[in-house]
Structure 1
């Protein structure tokens, strides 16, 4: 049986550790572009800001217990979530990635996302 590998499990998101904060990032446009496709007429493009909007809804709806520990710093070409608590950030990204892989759950959350 293969051992669980966190960094493999969260791909295409990737983990970045520094002295005091930890980040999880995604190159925008490389993962699940079809999620954003069906709301493109509203201005969604699948950029870093759109991913942050989706992630905020995920936190509000699915993991409000993590909300005060997770912050976002998106850019047009990159989604980035960060925290000083690596365990909370790992919980967030593991749950968020699972939700992204479930088409019905991610569509439900995306309906509530607001363009940034």
Structure 2
């Protein structure tokens, strides 16, 4: 049996550890652009801000217990979530990635996302 590899499991998200905080990032436009296509007439482009809007809905709907631990710092070309608690951030990214792979779930969450 192949050993579990966190960094492989979360791809194309990637983990960044620094002295006091941990981040999980995604180069915007490289993963699941179709999620944002069906609301592009509203201004969604799939940029880092759009990913953060989607992630905020995910946390508020599915991971409320993480809402105080997970913060967002998106840029136009990058989504970034960070925390001082690495376990909370790992839980977030693993479950957010699973949600992104579930077309029905992610579309339902995206209906509630607001343009930033």
TM-score range, shorter chain: over 0.9
Deviation at 1:42, TM superposition (A): 0.1
Q: TM-score, normalised by structure 1?
A: 1.00
Deviation at 1:14, TM superposition (A): 0.1
The equivalent of 1:92 in structure 2 is 92
Distance 2:62 2:88 in 1: 14
Deviation at 1:106, TM superposition (A): 0.3
Q: TM-score, normalised by structure 2?
A: 1.00
Deviation at 1:114, TM superposition (A): 0.2
Distance 2:88 2:60 in 1: 15
Deviation at 1:50, TM superposition (A): 0.1
Deviation at 1:97, TM superposition (A): 0.2
Aligned residues: 116
Moved over 6 A (4+): none
Distance 1:75 1:34 in 2: 20
- Segments of structure 2 that go 5 or more residues without pairing to the other structure are none
CA deviations over 1:51-79 (Å, ceiling 9, x no partner): 00000000000000001000000000000
The equivalent of 2:26 in structure 1 is 26
Distance 2:67 2:93 in 1: 12
Cα-Cα RMSD:
0.3
